Amino acid sequence: MLFKKSIPQLIAEANENGEHTLKRTLSSTGLIALGVGAIIGAGLFSLTGIAAAENAGPAVILSFIIAAVGCAFAGLCYAEFASMIPVAGSAYTYSYATMGEFVAWIIGWDLVLEYALAGATVAVSWSQYFNQLLMIFHIHLPDMLLKGPWEGGVVNLPAIIIVCLLSLLLMRGTQESSTVNNILVILKVGVVLIFIALGWSFINPANHDPFIPVNPGEEMVKSGQQSLMAFLKSDDFGHFGISGVLRAAGVVFFAFIGFDAVSTAAQEAKNPKKGMPIGIIGSLVICTLLYVLFSYVMTGIENYTMFKGDAKPVATAFAKTGYHFLNTALIITIIAGYTSVILVMLLGQSRVFYSMSKDGLLPKVFSDLSKRQTPWKTNAIFMVFVSIFAGFVPVSDLGHMVSIGTLFAFTLVCVGILVLRKTDPKLERPFKTPLVPFVPVMGILVCVLMMASLPIESWERLAIWLALGLLIYFVYGKKHSVIRKQHQNQQSVE
């Protein structure tokens, strides 16, 4: 039997009062700011350069568009769920209502990977820009404190410090965290617009030629010198050409995970039925437009080959404009932007664990709330967990793991819409995903295509993470499941 939660039951639990209930403090504007705060960050300021240099060249612009299309399909599905089920937990909660507890556990465990490692990824990039800011003021941190052991250092100390500080802020309260996030978002969007406006006149058309760099393996397939299967297994796959554009789409997809984080805060929205679709779709539209313009300017100012191995490509490109007096302001606002991303990722992760704990699938400690109605114990535990990853694991490995986890979550949300339209077609839907089944099916196809383009190591790490999650579920979660106990009690009464 599939153990599912009914939607009325989910909403009733979210609306009940008491010490285990989250406080509704977020407006539609706050939700959009939450989304923009999570979306614009490392994916734009760091991964754009990496994806251009290693995978797509100037065609990273197309990669952003492909990733945005996949996000648009998934975002429309998220918006329907978020308006119907305004409960903390995002895709985990939606899966519980449509596909049952087992699938919900898998997606919840996957979301932990997504948010926790996303926070760690951005913290690593934050550290690089923070060090550059210190150097402007002639403060030099030893290299051993800026890199993990796999990169020739000992520990990335600034990355650990920022994760700890923001975790402490989240323990203080959602209202305070949202206010800080809104200020950081204004600064971050401002620097993106300044970069686009000032950099546009410095674009060199030669840097966009060729727009899609040649992939030798693809050329050999076209001429019949190599089979398609041999190319797919070769080192050429994913390095420029069409395959490079697709792989870059999978890499920069990391840059779009913000609207997913919006849905984790549904239980803290003042008017979730109206606010959640606005927050999800609004933040996605705004950021997609900024991404395309930003990547076009960046690859036009500087040749994409110069971004290889560069953790701060924006500063590298901006130096070409001659506006050196703005360099310090640029770095400060990028740091502010990264800070808001880490903040939202840590918030999203804690809300998923909160929901899983409320359902009995994780120990009660993860749903204990403080007097300020925040899951402070979860924040404290993941402060340690995320800090370890941020301090010791390379940013590229973290980015790939986040991308595949996010794509997997989006795929299951699209499947959930198809299932719910079939099983409960008459449910009230304040926002309806248009063109069903076309939109969810296309969301599934685009997400799976981007997952397939990621390195095999990403799949192996995802498999290991899910295997660990399944072990925890069968050892603990299944035995302590609230809905299973309710069902057993009902059967015993009958």
Please write down the HEC assignment for all residues of 95-152: HHHHCCHHHHHHHHHHHHHHHHHHHHHHHHHHHHHHHHHHHHCCCCCCHHHECCHHHC
pLDDT, residue 293, reads: 92
Task: Give the C-alpha distances (Å, rounded to integers) separating 256 from 87, 165, 288, 293.
Answer: 22, 24, 8, 15
pLDDT, residue 1, reads: 44
Residues 56-60 have a mean pLDDT of 88
Please write down the HEC assignment for all residues of the chain: CCCCCCHHHHHHHHHCCCCCCCCCCECHHHHHHHHHHHHCCHHHHCHHHHHHHHHHHHHHHHHHHHHHHHHHHHHHHHHHHHHHCCCCCCHHHHHHHHCCHHHHHHHHHHHHHHHHHHHHHHHHHHHHHHHHHHHHCCCCCCHHHECCHHHCCCCEHHHHHHHHHHHHHHHHCHHHHHHHHHHHHHHHHHHHHHHHHHHHHHCCHHHHCCCCCCCHHHHHHHHCCCCHHHHHHCCCCCCCHHHHHHHHHHHHHHHHCHHHHHHHCHHHECCHHHHHHHHHHHHHHHHHHHHHHHHHHHHHHCCHHHHCCCCCHHHHHHHHHCCHHHHHHHHHHHHHHHHHHHHHHHHHHHHHHHHHHHCCCCCHHHHCCCCCCCCHHHHHHHHHHHHHHHHHCCHHHHHHHHHHHHHHHHHHHHHHHHHHHHHCCCCCCCCCCCCCCHHHHHHHHHHHHHHHHCCHHHHHHHHHHHHHHHHHHHHHHHHHCHHHHHHHHHHHHC
pLDDT, residue 366, reads: 81
pLDDT tens by residue, 348-383: 778 788 888 888 888 888 877 777 677 778 888 888
* Residues above pLDDT 90, as percent of the chain: 6
Distance CA 354, CA 379 (A): 10
253 and 288 Cβ atoms separated by less than 8 Å:
no
Tally the C-alpha atoms within 13 A of residue 149's C-alpha that lie toward its C-beta.
Answer: 3
For 430, the token pair is 């304040």
Instruction: Confirm whether pTM is higher than 0.85.
Output: no
Q: Which CATH architecture has domain 24-479?
A: Up-down Bundle (1.20)
Distance CA 11, CA 29 (A): 23
Amino acid at 186: I
203 pLDDT exceeds 80?
A: yes
By the 10 Å C-beta count (0-12 exposed, 13-18 middle, 19+ buried), 475 is classed as exposed
Residues 219-224 have a mean pLDDT of 81
pLDDT, residue 18, reads: 46
Distance CA 226, CA 218 (A): 9
Distance CA 489, CA 483 (A): 10
Amino acid at 464: I
247 pLDDT exceeds 70?
A: yes
19 pLDDT exceeds 50?
A: no
Distance CA 111, CA 324 (A): 41
* Residues above pLDDT 70, as percent of the chain: 83
78 and 158 Cβ atoms separated by less than 8 Å:
no
354 and 375 Cβ atoms separated by less than 8 Å:
yes
pLDDT tens by residue, 299-335: 898 888 888 766 567 777 777 777 766 777 778 878 8
Tally the C-alpha atoms within 13 A of residue 432's C-alpha that lie toward its C-beta.
Answer: 10
Backbone angles phi, psi at 394, to 5 degrees: -60, 150
Q: Mean pLDDT lowest for which of 150-154, 398-402, 453-457, 482-486?
A: 398-402
125 and 485 Cβ atoms separated by less than 8 Å:
no
289 pLDDT exceeds 60?
A: yes
pLDDT, residue 20, reads: 47
pLDDT tens by residue, 83-132: 777 665 567 777 787 788 888 888 888 877 777 887 888 888 888 888 88
pLDDT tens by residue, 377-408: 888 888 888 888 888 877 666 666 777 877 88
pLDDT, residue 442, reads: 92
> Regarding predicted confidence, which is higher, 16 or 291?
291
Residue with tokens 């302590």: 480
> Regarding predicted confidence, which is higher, 98 or 469?
469
Distance CA 494, CA 292 (A): 60
Residue with tokens 């295509």: 449
pLDDT, residue 397, reads: 64
> Regarding predicted confidence, which is higher, 175 or 74?
74
Closest CA to 86 of 264, 257, 261, 259: 264
pLDDT, residue 296, reads: 92
438 pLDDT exceeds 90?
A: yes
> Regarding predicted confidence, which is higher, 25 or 424?
424
pLDDT, residue 342, reads: 85
pLDDT, residue 441, reads: 94
Distance CA 459, CA 400 (A): 9
By the 10 Å C-beta count (0-12 exposed, 13-18 middle, 19+ buried), 467 is classed as exposed
pLDDT tens by residue, 153-173: 888 899 999 999 988 888 876
Q: Mean pLDDT lowest for which of 19-28, 90-99, 204-213?
A: 19-28
pLDDT, residue 396, reads: 61
- DSSP H helical segments within 359-481, as ranges? 376-392, 395-423, 438-453, 456-472, 478-480
471 pLDDT exceeds 90?
A: yes
Closest CA to 268 of 375, 428, 416: 375
CA 346 vs. chain centroid, Å, equals: 11
